[in-house]
Structure 1
């Protein structure tokens, strides 16, 4: 992964973006020697957000199982049939 200073980004944004498009790798932006932000492709960012949403749903489901907040398939069918009427 490439790393760039925030001042370099300010001065050479077009070049950094062109390089990023070519390499397809995220760019770590540093500020005062510390990581500040990542520069990534829009499609990569959206795919990452979608994966995170799926993982959060799985985590909620696992928590519900551990807490005993589950119902049987027959109970689910009964609830859905009442809701769909």
Structure 2
């Protein structure tokens, strides 16, 4: 992963963004020697957000199973039938 100072980002934003789009490699921006932000390609960011949404759905499903909040197949069909018409 590439690391850049915030002052470098201010001075060379166009170049840093061009490199980011070309390599698709995230850039860690630091301020005063500390991590401050990541720059990521838009397509990569959207892919990460979609994956996160899927993982959150899986986690909700796992929690429902652990809490015994599940339905039989027939109960699910009956509850979904109003949307499937």
- In structure 1, distance between residues paired with 2:21 and 2:77: 49
* Structure-1 residue corresponding to 2:26: 26
Could you tell me how far apart the structure 1 residues matched to 2:16 and 2:41 are? 12
SS in 2 for 1:68: coil
Q: Give CA-to-partner distance per residue, 1:43-84, whole Å, 9 cap, x none.
A: 000000000000000000000000000010011112223x24
- Alpha-carbon distance between aligned partners in 1 of 2:4 and 2:55, rounded to the nearest angstrom: 31
Residue in structure 2 matched with residue 44 of structure 1 by the alignment: 44
| Range that drifts further, 23-32 or 48-57 | 23-32
Q: In structure 2, the residue corresponding to 1:54 is in which secondary structure?
A: helix
Partners of 1:29 and 1:80 in 2: CA distance: 48
Deviation (angstroms), 1:18: 1.5
Q: Is residue 60 of structure 1 aligned with residue 75 of structure 2?
A: no
1:70 alignment partner in structure 2: 70
Q: Normalising by the residue count of structure 1, what TM-score does the alignment of the two structures yield?
A: 0.92
TM-score of the aligned structures, taking structure 2 as reference length: 0.92
Q: Give unpaired runs (5+ residues) of structure 1.
A: none
Query: Could you tell me how far apart the structure 1 residues matched to 2:12 and 2:40 are?
Result: 16
Extract structure 1 runs of 4+ deviating beyond 6 A.
none
What is the alpha-carbon root mean square deviation over aligned residues? 1.2
The 1-side partners of 2:20 and 2:78 are apart by 53
